[in-house]
Structure 1
């Protein structure tokens, strides 16, 4: 890239910041959120790949399994993913009640304060060596990631309208990617001098910054709602706590988004489990496994930010969401075809990086842009169902599918993954087709 092109891109970024003051706070918000999460993600992944079940499961569960001749170490990821799915289902009505009965200024801070309190509790559990902390922490981090990021993007759809989203979502995503790059870097540097327990306090500090950003962004959300004559988020939304499930099932676009999410998670879960087997073989220690996973995260986020800066905003403004949804699906189809033919460990890592980077840099910004054109109930309730329950439903389905297929070898796993990738491509096509009926702004839609 020439110096002139770089200068032009920097100038456009500065112009976007000047034209959109809330972009500053949105960037800081997403940077802090993903940095806080990625400080802990390598710790979670190392636990999932652990060969010693006593560091993951509580003693009573190990003794119960041993009495029945079951080795929990053979089912670590399957049990953890199933537990995560159950936790997501249990939290759905609680989140639905919170969103329905309290205004935005209450339920947004409550979500993040709850996560900070949990991190403080886990700090004590890790410091004291409490039994079973690994499994509970794995489930918590998965819940934290999905709910915290879902709430973030729902709030961004309150702050920015569709036209603004096409301008700034690429930049906001890049800010989050910088946080995702900084998080594993902090983990690599701090895990040995501070220990795993104190990394939780570092993460809690970043989540605290998110609360400040929420307070500073609230006035911009109010202005946007008034400008487009939308229902105010300063009042409780009302409605049923199960409205999200109903909307996700009845609305054709939301059904297509659910399909896209389910199969997208499927390809990620299959390749994640194969990667975990590689880590168990070549990186048996917790510190070595943590460093390996943090290196993968660095590669994913490095590629993500390049695509976000160079392509995402341009594609969104020029062509809409279609290429951002269809290109990752085609890339994943090609990657699984290569893995089915030759499942080399290095190729597995490369396809993992491409799969996750294309999701973060292209597919996710496209999906989030669509929610700026929907009503608030779809934005907060249905989106939460898709991003949490459907997401983890895909996880738990395909982690057991992988367990059934793993005995036949990696080639069979990736051959089955080709069918899952085809489902992902079909879901992307359905979303592209259904989104054409959305109005440009929710306030423009006819009310029943």
Structure 2
């Protein structure tokens, strides 16, 4: 079993080294970073059509207000998230996992709320689903619970996209220096691009799943949380570098 795992790791490392100039100790954090961005962007684009569908059901006239609300929420949440991520009492690797897992759980909550607020599933809606379907989209055709859930999901998905991506980039920048970043950021960006492609294709192909896309998006964010654990420095390599540096300094001092 160990031999098979080692062989698979060697094949993985060789495949990565064939497409990007990477040092051996950089391969593991590089793959973790690219995978994390892949899962984040996949999760975002999987849930994006459902978010837009819920917003359109409130009427096209509400879209400018929703986008303005997303902007205001971003302006407020961005500095708060940056402050929380930089707290010295919480290790950054753990904080990053917490952020991704928090959004994963929040998508599960929205899955429950979506069904609870949908006509035919919630007793708080006075109109039947047939009556609502015969009327043009608008706030007046829905209960306050339905409206609140759709608006909240619209704003929350926008926040997920901002916080998850920015916090992950902050962690990547901590791990990689300018030299390694110039070599490896393109590979990480490719992971994000593939995530957008996969998420868009999956959402288009599996649109019939409806709100169940929230469950798949939640799973992707959990995978992002697991992948982000590998975005870390190689302690062995760092110790070797430090030892080499100290040896060189001692040699110079003796001479």
Same fold (TM over 0.5): yes
Counterpart contact for 2:93–2:171, Cα < 8 Å: no
Is 1:112 the counterpart of 2:118 in the alignment? no
- Show the counterpart of 1:38: 45
Task: Tell me how far 1:93 sits from its aligned partner.
Answer: 5.4
- Show the counterpart of 2:146: 131
1:169 to 185, 188, 191: 185
Instruction: Return 125-134 or 94-103, whichever deviates more.
Output: 94-103
Task: Tell me how far 1:227 sits from its aligned partner.
Answer: 6.6
- Show the counterpart of 2:220: 206
Task: Tell me how far 1:155 sits from its aligned partner.
Answer: 0.9
Aligned in 2, Cα 1:31/1:226: closer, same or farther, shift over 3 Å? farther
Matched residues in 2 for 1:219 and 1:95: separation? Answer: 23
**5+ residue gaps in structure 2?**
1-14, 119-144, 243-255
- Show the counterpart of 1:330: none
The superposition leaves residues 319-349 of structure 1 with CA deviations (integer Å, 9 ceiling, x where unpaired) of: xxxxxxxxxxxxxxxxxxxxxxxxxxxxxxx
Is 1:76 the counterpart of 2:62 in the alignment? yes
TM-score (norm 1): 0.40
Is 1:183 the counterpart of 2:189 in the alignment? no
TM-score (norm 2): 0.67
The superposition leaves residues 280-320 of structure 1 with CA deviations (integer Å, 9 ceiling, x where unpaired) of: xxxxxxxxxxxxxxxxxxxxxxxxxxxxxxxxxxxxxxxxx
Task: Tell me how far 1:226 sits from its aligned partner.
Answer: 11
1:20 to 11, 15, 26: 26
Ranked by relative contact order (alpha carbons within 8 Å, sequence separation 6 or more), the top structure is 2
Matched residues in 1 for 2:235 and 2:65: separation? Answer: 41
**5+ residue gaps in structure 1?**
1-8, 54-72, 229-448
Counterpart contact for 2:70–2:158, Cα < 8 Å: yes
Aligned in 2, Cα 1:82/1:189: closer, same or farther, shift over 3 Å? same
Matched residues in 1 for 2:161 and 2:195: separation? Answer: 14
Counterpart contact for 1:158–1:224, Cα < 8 Å: no
- Show the counterpart of 1:141: 157
Task: Tell me how far 1:124 sits from its aligned partner.
Answer: 0.5
Aligned in 2, Cα 1:224/1:175: closer, same or farther, shift over 3 Å? farther
1:85 to 39, 46, 71: 71
Task: Tell me how far 1:97 sits from its aligned partner.
Answer: 4.2
Task: Tell me how far 1:166 sits from its aligned partner.
Answer: 1.1
Highest Rg: 1 or 2?
2
Aligned in 2, Cα 1:20/1:94: closer, same or farther, shift over 3 Å? closer
- Show the counterpart of 2:81: 95
Task: Tell me how far 1:46 sits from its aligned partner.
Answer: 3.8
The superposition leaves residues 382-401 of structure 1 with CA deviations (integer Å, 9 ceiling, x where unpaired) of: xxxxxxxxxxxxxxxxxxxx
Task: Tell me how far 1:171 sits from its aligned partner.
Answer: 1.0
Aligned pairs, number: 197
Task: Tell me how far 1:209 sits from its aligned partner.
Answer: 1.2
Secondary structure of the residue aligned to 2:49 is: helix
Secondary structure of the residue aligned to 2:146 is: coil
Aligned in 2, Cα 1:179/1:100: closer, same or farther, shift over 3 Å? closer
Matched residues in 1 for 2:237 and 2:220: separation? Answer: 27
Matched residues in 2 for 1:227 and 1:38: separation? Answer: 41
Aligned in 2, Cα 1:226/1:140: closer, same or farther, shift over 3 Å? farther
Aligned in 2, Cα 1:121/1:17: closer, same or farther, shift over 3 Å? farther
Structure-to-structure mapping, 1:430-441, within 5 angstroms: none
